[in-house]
A and B are shown apart, each in its own frame.
Chain A
Amino acid sequence: KQEVTQIPAALSVPEGENLVLNCSFTDSAIYNLQWFRQDPGKGLTSLLLIQSSQREQTSGRLNASLDKSSGRSTLYIAASQPGDSATYLCAVRPSGGSNYKLTFGKGTLLTVNP
Chain B
Amino acid sequence: DTGVSQDPRHKITKRGQNVTFRCDPISEHNRLYWYRQTLGQGPEFLTYFQNEAQLEKSRLLSDRFSAERPKGSFSTLEIQRTEQGDSAMYLCASSTDRGRREKLFFGSGTQLSVL
Q: Is the CB of B103 within 8 A of A45?
A: no
Minimum Cβ distance to chain A for residue B42 (Å): 3
Q: Are A34 and B104 in contact, CB atoms less than 8 angstroms apart?
A: yes
Number of interface residues of B (CB under 8 A): 28
> How far is it, in angstroms, between the C-alpha of A51 and the C-alpha of B93 when the chains are bound?
19
Chain B, residues 6-50, CB within 8 Å of chain A (1/0): the string is 100000000000000000000000010101000011111100100
| Chain A interface residue count, Cβ-Cβ cutoff 8 angstroms | 27
Q: Which of B48, B56, B91 contacts A44 (CB 8 A)?
A: B91
Q: Check A41 for interface membership: any CB of B closer than 8 A.
A: yes
**Docked-complex contact A52 and B107, CB < 8 angstroms:** no
A41 to B9, CA, bound (A): 10
A89 / chain B contacts, CB cutoff of 8 Å: 42-43
Is A53 touching B91 in the complex (CB atoms < 8 A)?
no
* CB-nearest residue of chain B to A32: B100
* CA–CA, A41 and B35, complex, Å: 15
- Chain A's closest residue to B110 (CB) is A43
| Residues in chain B within 8 A of chain A (CB atoms) | 4, 6, 31, 33, 35, 40-45, 48, 55-56, 89, 91, 93, 100-109, 111
Q: Which 10 A-B pairs have the closest CB atoms?
A: A104-B42, A51-B100, A44-B106, A43-B108, A43-B106, A101-B45, A43-B109, A49-B103, A32-B100, A106-B42
